[in-house]
Amino acid sequence: MAYSELFTKDSVLLDLDGGDSTAVLGALTDALCAKNPELKDRRDEVLQTLMERESRGSTGTDGVGLPHVKMAGVTQVTVVVGVHQAGVEFNALDGEKVHVFFSVIRPEEGADEHIGLLRWLAGIAQHEDFVSFSCQATSKEELIALLSELASTSA
């Protein structure tokens, strides 16, 4: 499966507006749990796991955050993308605010597949116009199309 197929309209949050990292992770968690029935009744656990992961070292840099964890009892990879126009403090490596978040919940197995997905996401996120283009997207379809286009042009 192409990684771009992981993104459907219910994977996209165009209007993240949480004032801090906890609020943003909460909104991403809601979207993850709504998308994957396996996570439906595990909202608190998902949020706590993501927060713990970030507390061990921020996944934010270059305006992009990649909060991702593996969880027991999960059989499929779930990904959501969220855009925060104003940007939020995420303790990023470069000290800059984060505007675009990719959040991933994955099974405990499948390390190689996970490296493949990280490679795909990092390739997109490295594009110099990725953050500004994402913030300009006016529809979910537009953002998904942007991901596909940038993925096809990254190394």
Partner 1 sequence: MTSSVTQTVTVVSPHGLHARPSHAIVAMVSRVDVKVTLQFDGREADGRSILSVMSLGAVHGAEVVLKGEGAHAEEVMQRLVDFFEAGFEENA
What are the residues binding partner 1 (CB under 8 A)? 56-57, 59, 61-62, 64, 66, 68, 93, 111-112, 114-116, 118-119, 121-123, 125-126, 154-155
Q: How far is the CB of 114 from partner 1 (least distance, A)?
A: 7
Q: How far is the CB of 135 from partner 1 (least distance, A)?
A: 18
Mapping DSSP onto H, E and C, the string for the chain reads: CCHHHHCCHHHEECCCCCCCHHHHHHHHHHHHHHHCHHHCCCHHHHHHHHHHHHHCCCCEECCEECCEEECCCCCCCEEEEEEEEEEECCCCCCCCCEEEEEEEEECCCCHHHHHHHHHHHHHHHCCCCHHHHHHHCCCHHHHHHHHHHHHHHCC
The token pair at 142 is 């537009």
| Nearer to partner 1 (CB atom), residue 48 or residue 91 | 91
| Nearer to partner 1 (CB atom), residue 7 or residue 102 | 102
| Nearer to partner 1 (CB atom), residue 42 or residue 68 | 68
| Nearer to partner 1 (CB atom), residue 62 or residue 82 | 62
Q: How many CB atoms lie within 10 A of CB 133?
A: 17
Q: How far is the CB of 122 from partner 1 (least distance, A)?
A: 4
Q: How far is the CB of 3 from partner 1 (least distance, A)?
A: 11
Q: How far is the CB of 57 from partner 1 (least distance, A)?
A: 5
| Nearer to partner 1 (CB atom), residue 19 or residue 93 | 93
